Amino acid sequence: MGIKTKFCAVCGKEGKSLIDSKCPECFFKSLKIDLPKKIILYACPICDAVFYNGIWYESPESHEEFFIKAILEKLKLPQGVELDDIKILQTGKEGRVELDISIKGNRFTAVIPVELYITDKVCKTDAAKKRGAYEGILQLRGDLKKIESAIAQIPTTNILEIENLRAGKDVYFLDVDSLRDAVAKLKHNFRIEIKQSAKAYSWDKTKNKPKYKITILARFL
């Protein structure tokens, strides 16, 4: 008994690889790809950081990679369809996304309209800088050359300002973790004497305890 020949229910073409009784070409023509009509990204207008899934990502190479991440999270493809590549062809109201897909080893390209917007939202770091808010002070005292060398080793991302004083420098940090990281680096690279103090300035309602501003005095020996 010979092998039963299969034909596409739509175009009648003979083929071995049928999906829902259709050849890959006809299946592709009837394919429904679920994507949201609109995707909005939030980017800081000051530093260009991107807010994605509750996290700020600093200095991304491009916003396109975050649009692609959002598309991958929301994309739904039928069984038997594999995604090969995604390209952002255009953003804005006339946004378009190009999907390269494979169906039974046959490659196809679908262009889908998706509105892709970037909306301004000031990041946490720049918002704190605009308010002049800080959580910690690093007071550098002693040899001025060592102080200058130490300043050069501290990342400036979470520094609000550096105040020049006759006795040294005061470095104002936006968060305590950045302050402690800076102190740990200085302790590794210099001989310093450390003194720490804390002053309550507010009440944390969520944790039901005071908020403190930390001051660390680092004297170079």
| Per-residue pLDDT tens over the stretch 151-176 | 999 888 788 888 898 889 999 998 89
Residues 6+ apart with CB under 8 A from 84: 100, 101, 102, 107
pLDDT at 142 over 50: yes
CA–CA distance, 172 with 122 (Å, rounded to integer):
20
CA–CA distance, 156 with 159 (Å, rounded to integer):
5
pTM, rounded to two decimals? 0.59
CA–CA distance, 75 with 98 (Å, rounded to integer):
12
pLDDT attached to residue 89: 93
Contact (Cβ atoms closer than 8 angstroms) between residue 112 and residue 150? no
Domain layout of the chain by residue ranges: 33-120, 131-220
| Per-residue pLDDT tens over the stretch 55-106 | 888 766 678 889 999 999 988 888 888 899 999 999 999 999 999 988 878 8
3-class DSSP assignment, residue 71: helix
Mean pLDDT of 183-211: 87
pLDDT at 122 over 90: no
pLDDT at 1 over 60: no
